[in-house]
Chain A
Amino acid sequence: MSASAERSPTAAVAAARPGRRPLAAGLVLGAAALAALAAALAFGSVDLPPGEWLSALAGGGEATAREIVWSLRAPRAFAAFAVGALLALAGALLQVLLRNPLADPYILGVSGGAAVGALGAMLAGLSGLAVHGAAFAGACAAAAALFAFALRLTGWNIHRVLLAGVGIAAGAGAAVSLILTLAPAGQVHGMLFWLMGDLSGAEQPLAGWVALAAALACALALAPGLDALVLGPLKARSLGVAVTRTQAIAFLVATGATVAAVMLAGSVGFVGLVVPHLLRLAGFSAHRALLPLAALAGGTLVVVADTLARTAAAPLEFPVGALTALVGVPMLLLLLARSR
């Protein structure tokens, strides 16, 4: 042990190779995402062979196939991917922000607010766009309440934000229970689907993808600061990180991503909580790798789960939220068993 321990630099660099393993993982996950999207286009009430859905996607082929691919399956598959990616991203951000491995996108009460809005609108007999609008209004109200509360209290304190979020979520949960008991039996089924996460109404994935691109870009810009925040706010500051600004921006990004996901599919559970952990267990903890990989894996997971939800017991459809866990839990347990 000496002050200037010499080592062969090339050996050291060769041993570490930062950035290479994440790249390989990105390629693998990217291929998996494409395969999942292809399967989502191919399978359903009518199974399309590769030649047919490919030519339909390119704008050729039969009119029916074109209609199925372009109007039904593609929007839904891309919406599913955006939802999964947004939730995984939000979960990864919140887990580091709150320094709590159990944090998930719904911990802040944003989805609770959206649920109160959506179910309230359904109870009032509204449907379609009005339910969407009400969900958005509810999510924004919850987010606004959270940030107002967080900023009012003696500066910025991350643990108070967490408590405030849990409070808002609990309040929203109570309101949801109330609405469910008040609702006529015929409406409850639709409400339950909304609560468990359901992609059957997702016809406009574009907004979700715009949100995803923006959220990922912002999150990646914060990545080095997030790495340091893992060491605690004090240490991060001593390493030159603007801690409050980083936390505030990451919070906004996570909230925005959650709202965008909830708008597309209601509260799809499990993805935001577990996908980041899957990747950490697989050895990706630096945020510049973790965040994009989580987006890819989360998106893929929800696309697979939704395809299963549509096809497993057709013509019956499951809510996708019930299946994300069925697909993801075995993966998580396997990785947990294999990791030290």
Chain B
Amino acid sequence: MTLAARDVTLTVPGRTLVAGLDLALAPGQCCAILGRNGAGKSSLLLALAGLGRPAAGEILLDGAPLARHPRRRLAQRLGILLQHDVEDFWGSVLEYVLLGRLPHGAGPLGADPEGVVQAYGAIGAVDLETHALQSYRTLSGGERQRARIAQLLVQSPDYLLLDEPLSHLDLQHQLALMQLLAGLARSGRAVAMALHEPFWAARFCDAALLMYDSGAVRHGAANDVLTQENLEALYRCRLEAVAGAGAPLYFPGTH
């Protein structure tokens, strides 16, 4: 069981983001994708989710190109948290989260008692219990982000692809989400996420993919890849090392 990019080239009009990328994501893995704005993190995640066709190369799920998998089966196996979603949802938080059950089908007239139980579990997991029956529109930005994550949890895919999952979240919820995602990886899911915070990657991810502006990539175990030298080259700014519980953590330096 793997989700793999084979010899993938990603382009945007007028520019090649990355060429000849090979990448494999296996169950149990938690991979951070780091890079500057516009380096191709989102394009890569969309391609891995089957939502954007690479300019060249293929995305393979269990050895077969994504296009060969039935659409619904694919949605049961691959789930993505998009960077932006439509904000205009009329229903309650619970109804919003329940949409994640779509690939799993519902009973006649939409009755889905099992889905409701799962949705409450997911809503609890992102700390939104008190908002469950509230209108989605009344949520704050961070609460909406957590509702979107709960929707992905209810979709319950084998491969979770997340584009900036920490955006809008306060520190406590950032930590809780990273713990949740790392826990999912330990329990046999595969997680790949675009992040802007190398310290979260260093603490919770076991693999990292650095995407440079030049189109070059560096992929490997998080400990090997997330070095001061690599990260300074990646972000084009000076970093300061701070002693962490395990590996040192890097923050932007002032000089």
Contacts and interface: CB of A to CB of B under 8 A. Distances in A.
Interface in B94-128: 94-95, 98-100, 102-103, 106, 109-113, 116-117, 119-121, 124-127
B102 A224 contact: yes
B5 interface: no
Contacts, number: 121
A118 B241 CA distance: 77
B51 A5 contact: no
B133 A288 contact: no
Interface centre among B78, B125, B138, B184 (most CB of A within 10 A): B125
Nearest to A290: B90
B124 A238 contact: no
Contacts of A230: 86, 88-90
A contacts with B: majority SS:
loop
Interface string B180-196: 10011000000000000
A235 interface: yes
A60 interface: no
B112 A228 contact: no
B103 A286 contact: no
B79 interface: yes
A224 B71 contact: no
Given A5-B121, A15-B133, A286-B110, A99 B126 contact: no
Is the interface on chain A under 10, 10 to 19, 20 to 34, or 35 or more residues? 35 or more
A224 to B, nearest CB: 6
A52 interface: no
B16 interface: no
A12 B184 CA distance: 23
Contact of A1 (B49, B78, B86, B127): B127
Interface of B: 46, 49-51, 71-76, 78-80, 82, 85-86, 88-91, 94-95, 98-100, 102-103, 106, 109-113, 116-117, 119-121, 124-127, 129, 132-133, 135, 138, 155, 173, 176, 179-180, 183-184
CB-CB nearest 8 A-B residue pairs: A5-B124, A240-B75, A285-B90, A12-B120, A285-B91, A240-B72, A240-B103, A1-B127
